A = this chain, B = another copy of it.
Amino acid sequence: MEIKSLDQTDLKILHALQENARASFAEIAKQVGLTAPAVTERIRKLEHAGVITGYRTELDLRQLGFDVQALILIEVTYKDEQAFMRYAGEKQEVLECHHLLGQSAFSLKVCVKKMLDLEALIRELMKFGQTTTHILLSEVVPRRSVF
């Protein structure tokens, strides 16, 4: 993974891929004004450089039976940090977890089927420190591309 200097064409490619990760190389090539092999090679380099970290499919969690999503903030006591991170990495319900600046704090995005499942999850988390839970309602901005 080396440092890449990105030009305008790279940014256009990244824009196209953010909007539709399943776009064909040929489609992207047309959008950026290059041929398919040129685009393929640039994308391969962006992947190898670690600029592109993955291609994900977004699902409507509610349609899949996951009716409750929540944002949980937790202040973990320092000695439990390692155990907490292991727990977060293993728990299926934890969709995302970030380390926050200061005081061994973390944010978690979790998704469960029922409110009772959320209660159980929070009860487990409370072993690691004090939690603050916010139930997520509608997505005002679902997920924006960086450019």
Complex formed: what's the CA distance from A140 to B66 in Å?
A: 22
Q: Given A100-B134, A139-B98, are A144 and B55 also a contact pair (CB < 8 Å)? A: no
| A contacts with B, residue count (CB < 8 A) | 57
Q: Given A97-B140, A97-B141, are A58 and B51 also a contact pair (CB < 8 Å)? A: no
- Chain B residues positioned under 8 Å from A8 (CB to CB): none
Q: B137 touching A100 by the CB < 8 A rule? A: yes
Q: Specify which of B101, B102, B139 is in contact with A97 (CB 8 Å cutoff).
A: B139
Query: Could you list which residues of chain A lie within 8 angstroms of chain B, going by C-beta atoms?
Result: 4, 6, 14, 17-18, 20-22, 49-61, 63-64, 66, 71, 73, 85, 88-89, 92, 94-102, 105-108, 111, 134-144, 146-147
